[in-house]
């Protein structure tokens, strides 16, 4: 699948950069991550919002959405491990000139439309309440 074909809910391997890694680690490790927003921002340009998937339970309830076992299977994740879509920190990336979104992204799977709606609602609430730290990865 090419970067331009990634959809909402696609679970990919992505070098997610956490806030505490800014200015430090030059190449963060690839980890499971989810496309939580896809915007066409110009001719041939697609902006993605990407959320890390982690087994760490968030300290605040609004900071993540727990992934149920059936969704873990759809996303290509281990259904027996606890997993959360982390929403307190989001990486943004433009597929057109990104160094981190490769032209052929390894896609593990894709969450269902219903679960994507649940993630989107939590994301919208966090954006409205200004509870998200955004890291632009486009020019990295």
pLDDT of residue 45: 81
pLDDT of residue 4: 59
Cα separation, 52 vs 58, in Å, equals 12
Side-chain half-sphere CA neighbours of 58 within 13 A? 16
Q: The pTM is what?
A: 0.90
**Could you tell me which residues come within 8 angstroms of residue 79 by beta carbon, excluding any fewer than 6 positions away?**
69, 70, 72, 73
Q: What is the mean pLDDT of residues 63-76?
A: 97
Cα separation, 43 vs 31, in Å, equals 29
Answer yes or no: is pLDDT of 77 > 90: yes
Residue 48: both structure tokens together: 């993605």
Answer yes or no: is pLDDT of 71 > 90: yes
Q: What is the mean pLDDT of residues 11-20?
A: 89
Residue 86: both structure tokens together: 């982390």
What integer best gives the mean pLDDT of the chain?
88
């Amino acid at each position: 699948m090419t970067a331009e074909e990634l959809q909402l809910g696609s679970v990919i391997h992505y070098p997610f950069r956490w806030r505490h890694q800014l200015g430090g680690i030059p190449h963060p490790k690839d980890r499971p991550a989810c496309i939580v927003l896809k915007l066409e921002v110009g001719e041939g340009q697609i902006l993605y919002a990407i959320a890390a998937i982690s087994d760490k339970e968030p300290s605040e309830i609004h900071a993540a959405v727990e992934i149920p076992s059936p969704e873990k299977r759809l996303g290509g994740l281990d259904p027996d491990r606890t997993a959360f879509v982390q929403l307190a920190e989001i990486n943004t990336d433009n597929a057109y000139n990104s160094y981190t979104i490769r032209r052929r992204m390894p896609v593990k799977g894709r969450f269902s439309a219903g679960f994507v709606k649940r993630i989107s609602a939590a994301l919208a609430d966090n954006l409205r309440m200004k509870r998200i730290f955004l890291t632009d990865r486009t020019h990295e």
